[in-house]
Structure 1
Amino acid sequence: MGLAPSAIAAPVLLVQRGQDRGVPPAHADWLRQRLTKAHLWSRPDDGPVSVLRACADAMDWLRANS
């Protein structure tokens, strides 16, 4: 059971950290391909804490796309 990603109609921002050891970039790409309104930000130099630098930009994106 569960919700199919294709059933989500809201805009979705995916932020993928390049230095993430737990979630490989392929997972974010898989979701991006299945979410109808997904936008993927790839941040190859970011790790678990440095990705927080994207928070202000992410909030701006959410305001503009909601």
Structure 2
Amino acid sequence: MASQVMRITLKAYDHKLVDASAAKIIDTVKKSGATVSGPVPLPTKKEVVTILRAVHKYKDSREQ
């Protein structure tokens, strides 16, 4: 029989919530008798936004 694999990705602004949720999931999975490998922390994604510094016509003046 083929093995079944489940991957769960958790996202939150507060890392404490992610850690607590991951611990609850791991405890539940271990109680059911399945094997657990993880949690594996993924890299943090940053969104870089460019804004105009000048109010009117100076489009070359920008910040990131």
Q: TM-score, normalised by structure 1?
A: 0.31
The structure showing larger relative contact order (alpha-carbon pairs under 8 Å, at least 6 residues apart) is 1
More strand by share: 1
Bigger Rg, which one? 2
